[in-house]
Structure formats: structure tokens, C-alpha cells
Amino acid sequence: MKQFQNLNQSQRTALAGAFLLSFPIFFPSLFHPLGRSFPSLFSEWNSPRPRHLRLLEGALDRQISIRQQVELWSPLPDQGWKPCTESYRGPPLPEKFQGFLQVFLDGGLNQQRMGICDAVAVAKILNVTLVIPRLEVNPVWQDSSSFTDIFDVDHFINVLKDELRIVTELPTEYAWSTRDYYATGIRATRIKTAPTHASAEWYVENVLPVIQSYGIAAVAPFSHRLAFDNLPESIQRLRCKVNFEALSFVPRIRELGDALVHRLRYPPSTTTSKTSGAMDPTERINTIVKAGAGKFVVLHLRFDKDMAAHSGCDFGGGKAERQALAKYRQVIWQGRVLNSQFTDEELRDKGRCPLTPEEIGLLLSALGFSNNTRLYLASHQVYGGEARISTLRKLFPVMENKKSLASPEELADVEGKASLMAAVDYYVSMKSDIFISASPGNMHNALLAHRAYLNLKTINPNMVLLGQVFVNRSLDWSEFEGAVSKGHKNRQGQLRLRKEKQSIYTYPAPDCMCNVA
């Protein structure tokens, strides 16, 4: 310390700089992209500021139309389609099963959900017994939650009991067939070559012989390993039945979700705040508030560091943020991110950039949501922290999340477990009056399908339109509001029929639904 004091100012600066540069060497966990201590270290040095000040001023001064509010909160009209899986009955179960099928599922909660549905379908195609799928530890969130931690396994088995045989554990003679066993070498019973969107025939030709020879086969990796087309109607309906009926969350998740929904609909004290810029009589303001009384919107921000880096877009955090995200891409994906080859303008013009919290706030304002709207944020974490979310909070001050609504004791069972937290958010999202996601992704797609299945209102952002209008700095508020309103007239839950190669887990009609009009 004494030697440091004897140095001149330039020497002290140089030594301090060298010390900071050595931090990643001596304390790598602090600078690892997955490290907990500083998840967005570089971006926090340059707190992101609002990028659309002109639009923000317009949003804060906007006039709220009573008609717009009433239409916004009105439920979707009957579209003439109803769920079909309840009345579906597949062929009777065979008396003899040929063996066991195991699958190991990676990804987040909703990717695993799709994998579970596919696993049931493949087991049915092969006429084999399905072992409850093993959920892999997520490499980003480090969550080791199992199937039984998330889903009600008894309900799962009971709903599907007439479709196929499911077991929670293998018989003693197959106890050796564990995930650890397959991780230690090449095994004859492990299938590693299942192509993406494989046909039913592929499984019959490549997996069934292994089961017939050894009594068991394990398919890993398994995500996205069953085609969406050219499958029997009974198999498609079975996937739907799994997704929308068999997969029910465990009671503790449902109970916590119900408590959050109740607090969103019936807050302890309701204050009537004046709509921004509205100078109309009190009666008009009360009418607007009444239109959304007891209702809430779930907003899935999906704005974490992993997503921000993978998108390749610029989010206004300056040079430090761009360097941090580029470093993250290099470490996690060894630079193999296609979007990083394009400029930010090119990506936005194609609608490939996720909306920032500021941009999603401007979108909601343009759609007619007043600042009285109760927003529930369904997000694991927001990259950039409170600085990134401050503009959204300014537009919509009545903003809640799990931690603001529940006590630490209530959250104890799910805290720190990304899959369980996501399950709570999924459950609350299904109970909301309106759901909107800031960008496409597995949770967006899963909820888009599930809510379409039940004819619930879901706003699906027009990413191409929004990318183009946000780049256009010359637009004033009225022009922006008009473009957004027009571009989302038919994106509020209107049913879209699945096209060839599209996912059945995003577009449930016509495979999961019947036209009764």
C-alpha cells in the first residue's frame, strides 16, 4: 500500500488499469457470461436511455378513446372453432407392449413441453411404453427441476391411460438405463441420429428395431424430432391432447398462480389515476377505468442477456453493451449467430429484433391501453435492469410481477428455479384477459396456441412493421399510433390455420380443433 502511495498519478492509473484487466484471469466467475455477480456488467456502466423520445412524449400526452378501451377489453367473438381432443378416442390399447422408450429433453420449459408431446406421439406410433421424460439441466439457467417438480404426473398418466402405457420408473432389469450411463460412452440402445422433424416411418425403421432387440431405446437429443406433417390424424390429435389436457402443473404452482391472479384482479386498494393528457370530465375518465376494471394484461418481455446477444441487434446501450454482447456470443456460441452478420437496420427491417421494454410500452400505448392498465411482467430477468425498464414503468406505473405480488414465503418453493418460475408465469398468462409477448419464442408460441385453443385474446406483435416504424425517426405520435393500430387489427387472437411445415404447437387449428360454424 505504501509503495502504491509513492507512485505518481499516471503510474497509479496504469497500475489500476492493469489490475482491472487481470480481474477476468483471477476471478473468472465474475466475468463469465453466466456468472451471477455481474450479469450485465458492461451495460450497467452506460445505462440505456430512451431511444424514442419523440414518441414517448406523444404517448404520455395521448388521448384515450372510450370506444377504443371498450373494444380493447372485450373478449374475442366466437370464431366457429372448438377443441376436438375431448371427444377424441384413439384405437384401443394393445394387450402386449414391445418395450420402453426414453427421451432426454433439453431447452427451457416450453421447448420441453413440446418434446413431451412428441414423446407421447412417438411411443404411440411404436406401440411401446413411455418412461416419464427426463428434463435436462438447462445450461443457461442451471435449473435441475424434474418432470414431477413441474407437472402433475398422476394427472398426466390418468388423462392418457387409454392412449398408451406410461411408467414413472423402469423395471429393475432396466435400472442401468440412466442418463449417466449414456453420457459415459457409445451405447447400442441410445439413438443420437434422429433428424429434425423426422417422419413416423423413420422411428419405425430406426428406433423400433433397437427396442425389439434390447427391450429399450433412449433417444437423445430429442427436441423437435417429430414432423408436423404427414402423420395420422389420431397422432396429431394425441399431441394436442397431451399439450392442452394432460400437461397440468403441480398443485403448488397452480395455487401460487391463483393467488397472483386474485391479487391482480382485486388489488387491496384501487386508485383512479388520471389518463395521461386527458382533460375531459371525471365521468369520462371513470368510464375508461371501468372498461378495464378487474382486468389485467400479461406482458412477456423476453429481454434477457441470452436473447439480446443471440438476436445480434443494437439495443442502445452504447459501445460497452455491444462489446459485452459480442463477447457473450463468442463464448456461448463460438460466434455462430447468423444475425450477427447483418446490420442493426437490416435486422429491424426484417422484424428480427426483439422489442425493448421501451418499445413494447409504446406499442401498448398506441393500441389504446391507458396508464391505469394493470401489467403483469412474465420474465425471468431483464437485461439492463431497472434502467432498461424505467420508460415502460413511466408509461404503465401499475406494473406487477411475482415478487411484488407474493411474499418471500410464498415464493420459496420456486425462487431460483427458472422452470418453476416460468410455469407460474405460464399459468398466470393463461388466466389473463390479454397476453402479449415482446418477441417470438417458445413461450410466445406455446401461449399463442393455448390461448387460441380456448379463444382467448392474444396480441401478436407485427415485428416487421414495428421494426420499420421504430427506425423511422420522422414519425410523430399520431402517425405512429395510426400505423400500429392498423397493423394490429387482425393480430389480437384471430385464429390462423396451420400451414404446411408450421408447428402444431403454435397453430392448433385445424389439427386440434373442429370447425363447428
pLDDT of 316 over the 80 cut: yes
d(CA 251, CA 236) in angstroms, rounded, equals 28
pLDDT of 297 over the 90 cut: yes
Decide: residue 447, CB within 10 A, 0-12 exposed, 13-18 middle, 19+ buried.
buried
- Residue 197, pLDDT score: 97
49 or 511: which leads in pLDDT: 511
397 preceded by cis ω (within 30°)? no
d(CA 73, CA 50) in angstroms, rounded, equals 29
pLDDT of 29 over the 80 cut: no
Find residue 514's DSSP bridge partners: 82
pLDDT of 277 over the 90 cut: no
d(CA 353, CA 467) in angstroms, rounded, equals 7
pLDDT of 159 over the 80 cut: yes
Three cell numbers, residue 16: 489500476
Q: Which residue has the cell 370447425?
A: 515
- Residue 92, pLDDT score: 75
Helix (H, G, I), strand (E, B) or coil at 405: helix
Residue type, 348: R
pLDDT of 363 over the 90 cut: yes
d(CA 375, CA 435) in angstroms, rounded, equals 10
Q: Which helix (H) or strand (E) holds 300?
A: strand 297-300
Average pLDDT estimate for 185-194: 95
Q: Which helix (H) or strand (E) holds 443?
A: helix 442-453
pLDDT of 5 over the 80 cut: no
User: Is the Cβ–Cβ distance between 211 and 101 less than 8 Å?
Assistant: yes
User: Is the Cβ–Cβ distance between 511 and 237 less than 8 Å?
Assistant: yes
40 or 361: which leads in pLDDT: 361
CA-based nearest residue to 314, from 299, 303, 325, 302? 325
Q: 515 — phi, psi (to 5°)?
A: -85, 115
- Residue 509, pLDDT score: 97
Q: What is the DSSP letter of 455?
A: T
Alpha carbons within 13 angstroms on the beta-carbon side of residue 404 total 14
d(CA 332, CA 465) in angstroms, rounded, equals 31
pLDDT bucket at 37, cuts 50 / 70 / 90: very low
d(CA 182, CA 188) in angstroms, rounded, equals 10
- Residue 122, pLDDT score: 98
Q: What is the DSSP letter of 87?
A: G
- Residue 95, pLDDT score: 75
User: Is the Cβ–Cβ distance between 149 and 132 less than 8 Å?
Assistant: no
What average pLDDT does the chain have? 86
User: Is the Cβ–Cβ distance between 48 and 317 less than 8 Å?
Assistant: yes
Q: Which residue has the cell 377505468?
A: 289
pLDDT bucket at 27, cuts 50 / 70 / 90: very low
pLDDT in tens, 221-230: 999 999 999 9
d(CA 309, CA 198) in angstroms, rounded, equals 30
pLDDT bucket at 307, cuts 50 / 70 / 90: confident
Residue 67, number of CB atoms within 10 A of its CB: 9
pLDDT in tens, 235-275: 999 999 999 999 999 999 999 999 999 999 999 764 444 34
- Residue 386, pLDDT score: 87
